[in-house]
Structure 1
Amino acid sequence: MSQSAKALPSHDRVGQQQKKPAPDSSFGLWLAGIAFTVAIAAIGFALAKVPGFDRVGPLACAIVISVAYRQFFGYPEKIRSGIQFSSKRFLRFAIILYGLKLNIDVILHQGLGLLVRDIGVITFAILATVWLGKLLKAESSLVLLLGVGTGVCGAAAIAAVSPILKTKDEDTAIAVGIIALVGTIFSITYTIIRPFLHVSAIHYGIWSGISLHEIAHVALAGAPAGQDALAIALLAKLGRVLLLIPLCFILMYWMKRKDTENTQETKIEFPWFLIGFILMSLFGSYVLGKSIPVSKGVMDGVSSATTFILTSAMVGLGLNVSLRDLRTKAARPLIAMLITSVLLSVITFFIA
């Protein structure tokens, strides 16, 4: 073979290398993608301070903004790598930090009775939502996410189980948006009907804690009934957050068994971020405030940072949502979740 013939493939390879973006350019676009999600999250946070939107929360506001951006301007493909990094890595990091909100010591010493009811609530919410979803012929993956979100702790629970269930980013974003909307409606409804219920503040607090969707919703509904009601409401809610840990392992086992029955060889990745969640929970429960004194202001700052990181991750998920698909996919799961939420509120009112 002549030297000129051998040189041709080498020349082609050089040409191909020249067509690839320079490393600095790729890194810059990656940073731009992260900056984009952070910017939208900041806008979501600002919007959530506006009267009316403050009831919905920054996560839902950021998702709405990112969905609207997708519909008007399309997906920003050039910075996709950074956006995907935010939607996946930020999501897991936020769940790890979320563990600091869970005081295991308080639950084990004061909330064991509530924990039993919390187990019943989670079981009922998931099974009822999935069953209703089948009756309505709704999207199964979306229905399961909503069942978990309704039973455990809203958006955080959905974010935690979505990697295990291998759900689409679009379904995760839709589920988070629905859970934020429905949970807000229910928490506001609770505050409106509270004066007409003629129950004690403790009863009302337990009811709020074991039936409402997110910690923010429980705080919103429980605060008007006084500090005692709010404290017991948050305790009941944190019991449900604690149960997210065994639920994730149950779902892992279910997914592996499902793949085996379908003769698939799909590998279920172990959710290492869940170990981080457990470690942070233990650290927050037994070290912070005891061996290491920390002010309430610092903890509030960490909580806000956690929410902001999770909101940034939601932007990446929201950009994957198509309004055309939303109209066809969201209606039936929403109905299933609404029915479950109403039934859950009625049943838990009598067992609180």
Structure 2
Amino acid sequence: MKKLNNNFIKNIKGILPGFIVSILVAYLSILIAKFVPKLGAASIAIFLGMFVGNVFLNHNIFQKGYKFSETDLLSYSIVLLGATLSISTIYEIGFSGVIFIVLQMAITIIGALYIGKKLGFSDNFRYMMASGNAVCGSSAIAATSPVIGADDKEKGISITIVNVTGIVLMFLLPMISQFLYNNEITQTSAMVGGILQSVGQVVASGAMVNEHVKDLSTIFKIVRIIFLVVVVFVLGHLKHKSNKEIIEEEVQDMEKGKIKVPWYVIGFFITCALFSLNIISNDVSILCKEISNKFEIIALAAIGLRVNVKDLIKQGKSVSLYGLFIGLLQIVSAIILIGILL
């Protein structure tokens, strides 16, 4: 018990410096947003975080707290978001929205594998780039890498380039959506939620447009994440299709729950169901919305604080081209599919 307490205290101490900086950047962003409301606290938090993180506070002591603020707080924010949305809101994406997600993911996977092969990358790297871009960035890569037997170097490079691609698209997609759809909620949400790599990027990009787009694009993203298990299994099958024993192991892993949908997706649907059944009252829902928004801005500040501009510049030409081509493919396919389905 004493050892457990010591580990807990040590963990808290490791998180606190970066967590405090994330909170300070977030609340400074909220304050600045009162004077420039058109920018919004979310956008300001990202840019201010990037400035502070790259110029002043990029030391290792802050990184654990930045990561906690980005991943854990954003997860809690998504669960609380569920308490503000009814099942009928989720139905807004409709059957055509689900078809859009499935086709968009399929095109991304096939395109990433094909482009990577043409550029001469290894199978493992191509599979991780496919899953990371098609589903949910780093989380999808982490779930895919053990199934295909990827090493840490391949995993690290793929996570970096997927995140770099996502950061660029995070700022680009709202502008494209403004030009093409005049920020119409469903089409813009499909563009943002159907393309961006991480949940944080989806929330940040959606928030740059408006609150409705942020919420609906998050739902589009959650539908993508639900398909994570299927994507991991398919890529594992492609890698090991000649080895029946490995395929059987993958099936067993799925049955044992070793490849899991992230907990916050389940939490989102639980709180959403509770709100739809009026178990969560309107007053509690309003409180959840306020807390969710605060967590979200802190998480977005942390995303900015973790962006390393030197890493963006340092990427090799071929790897950067790989990310660029996948990003362009996703944009073009999304525009075509949105035009047909939505």
* TM-score calculated relative to the size of structure 2: 0.64
In 1, the alpha carbon distance for the partners of 2:52 and 2:294 equals 20
Following superposition, the deviation at residue 293 of structure 1 comes to 0.8
Mapped partners of 2:215, 2:7: distance in 1: 45
The alignment-based identity, stated in percent, is 9
1:147 and 2:133 matched: yes
CA contact (8 A) 2:228 2:261 kept: no
How far apart, CA to CA, are the structure 1 residues paired with 2:264 and 2:70? 13
Q: In the alignment, is residue 184 of structure 1 matched against residue 171 of structure 2?
A: yes
Determine if contact 1:99/1:277 at 8 Å carries over to the other structure.
Answer: yes
Q: Assess if the C-alpha contact under 8 Å between 2:174 and 2:206 holds in 1.
A: yes
Match of 2:293 among 285, 290, 304: 304
Distance 1:122 1:91 in 2: 23
- Seen in structure 2, the aligned counterparts of structure 1 residues 177 and 305 have a Cα distance that, compared at 3 Å, is farther
Q: What is residue 148 of structure 2 aligned with on the other side?
A: none
1:120 is aligned to: 103
Deviation track 1:288-341 (CA, whole Å, cap 9, x = no partner) reads: 771121435423333234425645875896579846743557522331233213
The yes-or-no answer on 1:98 pairing with 2:78 is yes
| Structure showing greater Rg | 1
Is 1:35 matched with 2:5? no
> Contact 1:164–1:251 (CA<8 Å) still a contact in 2?
no
CA distance in 2: counterparts of 1:303 and 1:169, whole angstroms = 30
CA contact (8 A) 1:96 1:273 kept: no
- 1:308 and 1:105 mapped to 2: Cα distance? 25
* Shift in Å, 1:191: 1.8
Specify the alignment match of 2:339 in structure 1. Answer: 350
Q: Which amino acid in 1 is paired with 2:87?
A: D
For residues 65 and 310 of structure 1, what CA distance do their matches in structure 2 show? 15
Q: Is the 8 A contact 2:77 2:293 kept in 1?
A: no
Q: Which amino acid aligns with 2:19?
A: V
Shift in Å, 1:115: 1.9
Task: Please name the residue that 2:225 is paired with.
Answer: 244
Show structure 1 runs of 5+ residues with no match. 1-21, 196-200, 224-229
What do residues 205-256 of structure 1 show as CA deviations (whole Å, max 9, x unaligned)? 3322222232443454477xxxxxx57x9547624422311x2212442465
Distance (whole Å) between structure 2 residues aligned to residue 323 and residue 117 of structure 1: 31
**Unpaired runs of at least 5, structure 2:** 146-151, 197-201
Q: Which residue of 2 aligns with 1:334?
A: 323
Aligned to 1:207: 187
Preserved contact between residue 187 and residue 218 of structure 1 (Cα < 8 Å): yes
Letter of the aligned partner of 2:292 in structure 1? S
Gap change, CA 1:94 and 1:191, over 3 Å in 2 = closer
What is the aligned length?
302
Determine if contact 1:63/1:173 at 8 Å carries over to the other structure: no
> Deviation at 1:34?
1.0
1:47-72 CA-partner distances (Å, limit 9, x unpaired): 695777967564576467546669xx
